[in-house]
Structure 1
Amino acid sequence: MKKIIYPLLLMLPSLTLFAGEPIVVDASASPIKSGVYRFDVTLRHSDEGWDHYADTWDVTAPNGEILGHRTLFHPHVDEQPFTRSLSGVAVPEGIDHVEIRAHDSVHGYSSQPYRVNLE
């Protein structure tokens, strides 16, 4: 029994490192016109209320430049996961993908961006 419990206890700190981070579950890009897109992004986060909730997400170019920013104006405690959109995001010519980075009011940006390939 000790052989099973001790390794599990050693793993706990690494598991809690990601607890509370917002996670991009899904994202898509729809072209509106040449070089301009609408993004639909689904997030999952353990929103606890006004003191701790997923509060924004960004659309970033591969070089890290922020192309679009979506503010989430309230907690989604009872709505998980949830999807919000951002239209009118101009993407420079030659970029074939972007990344979505979620942010929460306590932990900051999530450690894992979500890649979205563009048409």
Structure 2
Amino acid sequence: MTALPNILHITERSLWEEARARGGYEMSTRGRTLQEEGFIHCSTRDQLPRVAAFLYGSYDGPDELVVLVVDPARVGAPVKWEAPKPGGEEFPHVYGPIPVTAVVDVEPWAQHPAG
């Protein structure tokens, strides 16, 4: 059986720290929760710079951004690869909370979009 590649989620450090205290992460995307969106948006390493630029290109918040490195085999919820529009690029979506035990690394996000 082939291991699934890790998936990534960019977020604010304070949101990750809150999730660690609760035992699970439940933010879908910037400003929207899992309950509001129905799933947690994730990406591959190749997709991450574009996702970060789209979501946080104008970010000037007080918190540093971090990248959660998630092992999909540890999530315990369905992970579906879906396109935002028919025929578009597929992104991993997690249909449930991400347990902190599924986060195998937390990386600082230091890359800034060009422009």
| TM-score, scaled relative to structure 1 | 0.36
Task: Flag the structure with more relative contact order, 1 or 2, with Cα contacts below 8 A and sequence separation at least 6.
Answer: 2
| TM-score, scaled relative to structure 2 | 0.37
| Greater Cα radius of gyration, structure 1 or 2 | 1
The structure in which a higher percent of residues are helix is 2
